[in-house]
Structure 1
Amino acid sequence: MSDFDAPEGVRLQKVLANAGVASRRVSEDLIVAGRVRVNGKVVTELGRRIDPENDLVDVDGTAIQLDAGKRYVMLNKPTGVISSMKDDRGRRDLREFTRDWEERLFNVGRLDYDTSGLLVLTNDGGLAQVLAHPSFGVTKVYIAKVEGTVTPATIQRLIRGVELEDGPIQADKARLLDSSQGTSLVELTLHSGRNRIVRRMMAEVGHPVIELVRRQFGPLHLGTLPVGRARELTKVERGALLTLSRQGSGADGAVDPSGEVPASTEGQENS
């Protein structure tokens, strides 16, 4: 990434307009007002030229997608689907949900075979590697239907932390949503990427999971997206996800400068 005004680059206001931020005239106003940064530095000169393929731009602190070839897709993964683009055992995999896109998409992290919910698919290798990297710890929100009646004391225990075979773990947040007919609905917020962490935590406190769905991944919310359906992220969602990714890209070893999606991201998260 360049920190200088490359004469062969593209004018910043044109880049912003092409990215759909605003018209060129309004983009000029944003620049003059000091609301635009290039590679983390505020730019106020209208003559500034940048390299859209390598420079990073944000407006009011929100990252702007400049590479139109990058795809960011939200999938509501059904149960009974393996979080991989190919399964050697012949189980359903993610390929059936990516056929509407010409690009070769990969999953960011994974969800357990028996877990449904929000999964991000992309061809942006840098973003995939950052968001799936264990040291970064993207916040995720799960709704678990569990056996038994969960008490307030159990909720507090989840927040204080429990001891598992691979070390202690605590929920960032936990709350009881409902209890009836011998089962309970619990909402858990975690940033851990350990394997089957929600299921193991609930089993440890005496309430094995019956059903589990991930409702939120970082700034993304599943909303009303039906199970088994996929859609591209909105411009606002893309900006939020890219901003989160750039915040984490300073972690040692988190980003592969090649931009390729590493196969290892498929195994770094499993709830």
Structure 2
Amino acid sequence: TAAAAAAITIHPFLSRPASVLRCGRRVPPLLLLRATSSASDFNITFAEPAPAPSKASRGGPSAQPLVPWIARGADGKPSLHTSPPPDVLQAVAAAEAEAKRAAKRGQRQGPAADAPVASVRVKEKKAAPTAPPKFSKAARRFYNENIKEHEPQRLAKVLAAAGVASRRTCEELIFQGKVTVNGSVCTAPQTKVDISKDSIYVNGNRISKKLPPKLYFAVNKPKGYICSSGEEKSVISLLDDYLKGWNKLQPGVPKPRLFTVGRLDVATTGLIIVTNDGEFAQKVSHPSSNITKEYVVTIDGAVHKKHLVAISGGTVIDGVKVVPDLVEPLDAQADTKRTRLKIVVY
């Protein structure tokens, strides 16, 4: 029969699988023979076809390769992450935002009409981290302007700043040959010296290398005190309690020589500035600084218009005509009926 003939014909091929592979290109007669037989005779089955690749496997988001991130935690140990650390994401986002802002600024400004456009990439250098300043900016400026000495100064000025005496008295001491600089007698007050380097002696006493700091006091002068130093009831004596503790406050620094900026009469009360800064005193008291001084004067008796005109006309002091800037009467106080005037001078 046909089935028996097929079995006889196929048997040699089934016994030698290699022959079937080598003769695969001449199988069509065999396939035609298989079609005439039933599947139950040969017991042949075929594998299921491979599933078609999905869209995701063709390059979709789910097909992206997994990139591990190694980051150190707060304890310093490295750990594996499936996503970038938050600080990296923030840095990337900040860089993108800055690039967008820079592009917008460039669009608003635009290049010059005739200027060539060039692109230059400059590698930014990270500044080395610096420690925060110990003192504030205002404190450093005050120190540099008022305390720190940058250049050599006149000998008379250095002696006055050291508290030896007033500048005029220091000049007299220098003229008298009582001051030596580096072992030699100096008779020129304008000689430039550096107190931190030069050795200065006055009457055999060595001047300290440290100068006292510049001090400023606003004193409400009471009645009966004078502005001259050295007197028992002077304005400077009001600061004796402060100066008594100077050695504890400023060890190794000589006491400052204090004086008043301007003068007030013995019977006058009010604001008076006490300092050891000669330049400051000269600047404040000189008329060219345009700093006004206001006086309230109490007068016995009546004051008429002619008196106000006479006071406004000024007077001559030491050969110089002095004219007040303002003269005006003030309202009478409840406790006294005497006339008061406000006089403003430069």
Report the TM-score when normalising by structure 2: 0.33
Structure with the larger strand share: 1
TM-score, normalised with respect to structure 1: 0.41
User: Which one scores higher on RCO, CA 8 angstroms, separation ≥ 6?
Assistant: 1
Greater Rg, structure 1 or structure 2?
2
| Higher percent of residues as helix | 2
